């Protein structure tokens, strides 16, 4: 994980690979609903892509917290034309001590095929579409 951290700290992050969500009461009490446009931007860039069927059934993804050294396995799912983190979200939100109003920021780190919690200083590069 140290290699991942040093790379992420030194290089600007591609804004198209970031999912950012201000948590609502519903997100904290249940599964977190992810922003559709940002999630689809990440899904389009995932190596090999992700099928609609995979997302309906739920695709398990790894999320790491570089600050604490923790890893979470969370199910990314598409339901009713929305994207959500399901199984694993409960453990992740309590471990990260996430509260209503806080912003959850995740970066899809393509080289490792994982999400990284952006709870550290970083720079973002906005690439024109």
Identify the band that residue 65 occupies on the pLDDT scale cut at 50, 70 and 90.
Answer: very high
Rounded to whole angstroms, the Cα distance separating 85 from 34 reads 7
Q: Is the pLDDT of residue 8 over 60?
A: no
SS3 content of the chain, % helix, strand, coil (to 5): 30, 35, 35
Q: Tell me: the pLDDT tens digits for 49-63?
A: 777 788 888 999 999
Residue with tokens 């959850």: 104
Position 119 confidence tier, pLDDT thresholds 50, 70, 90: confident
Predicted TM-score (pTM) of the model is 0.86
Task: Report the mean per-residue pLDDT for the chain.
Answer: 87
Has residue 7 got a pLDDT over 80? no
Instruction: From the options 3.90.1200.10, 3.30.450.20, 2.40.330.10, 3.50.50.60, give the CATH code of 2-119.
Output: 2.40.330.10
- Residue 45 near residue 98, CB atoms below 8 Å: no
Spans of all domains in the chain: 2-119
């Amino acid at each position: 994980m140290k290699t991942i951290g040093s790379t992420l700290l030194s290089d600007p992050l591609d804004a198209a690979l970031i999912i950012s969500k201000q948590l609502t009461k519903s997100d904290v009490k249940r599964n977190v609903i992810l922003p559709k446009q940002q999630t689809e931007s990440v899904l389009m860039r995932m190596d090999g892509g992700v099928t609609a069927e995979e997302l309906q059934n739920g695709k398990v993804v790894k999320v790491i917290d570089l600050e604490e050294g923790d890893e979470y396995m969370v199910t990314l799912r598409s339901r009713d034309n929305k994207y959500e983190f399901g199984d694993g979200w409960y453990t992740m939100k309590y471990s990260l001590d996430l509260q209503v109003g806080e912003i959850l920021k995740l970066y899809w780190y393509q080289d490792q095929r994982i999400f990284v919690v952006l709870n550290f200083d970083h720079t973002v590069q906005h690439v024109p579409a």
